[in-house]
Amino acid sequence: MYPLPFFKDSANAYARAVLAGWQIAGLTLINSGQPVPRILVSTNGFLRGNRANRVGDPAAGDQSGLFWFNPNAYAPPPDGTFGNSGREEFRQPGRNQTDLSVSKNWMFNGTQRIQFRADLINAFNQTQWFGDPTAIGLGNTCTLSLTTCSNQLDTFGQVLATHNPREIQLGLKFYW
């Protein structure tokens, strides 16, 4: 908690009562996304492994809009072989979120007080992409086609969800 130093020495009693004594607190969370364990493929009746072949650069191609990686970079391996894609080839979306709280206490009779509080969760309303493998189109991938991953699921390689946008919570408490 950081007390804001404004109006605490003001000669105007009304300005001091309303504008002085505010406190602010904040928390910022910045982290990279979790590694993607692997790109899975259908086993085709156990005739091939469960890893896809990496046939291109996941960072190349159209990654505008909702695409998190290039879906054309992966293809199912031939029957009887294992795919060449590695573990943790890239990371899921990370987060950068700031939460703020602003509060003020008004004292009465020395023991009683009223507190007003405003909490801003994701105060700057930054889009926080949801870092769940199924939310970026990695769940049950490469299951409908034996030759390509890109046309399998319309969602393969796309970011499909976000965390909540800015939330504002207001509170008023009476302490006695």
What tens digit of pLDDT does each residue of 51-108 get? 778 888 887 766 666 677 777 787 777 777 778 888 777 777 788 999 999 999 998 8
Q: Which tens digit of pLDDT belongs to each residue from 14-56?
A: 888 888 889 999 999 998 877 776 676 665 665 666 677 888 8
- Among residues 77, 89, 87, which one has the least CA distance to residue 49? 77
Amino acid 146: pLDDT: 42
Q: How many domains does the chain have?
A: 1
pLDDT of residue 139: 44
The boundaries of the domain holding residue 28 are: 2-175
In 3D space, the residue among 141, 134, 140, 133 whose CA is nearest the CA of residue 75 turns out to be: 141
Note the pLDDT of residue 32.
Answer: 84
Beta strands in 2-132 (DSSP E): 2-3, 22-31, 53-54, 74-75, 95-108, 112-121
pLDDT of 159 above 70? yes
* Prediction pTM value: 0.67
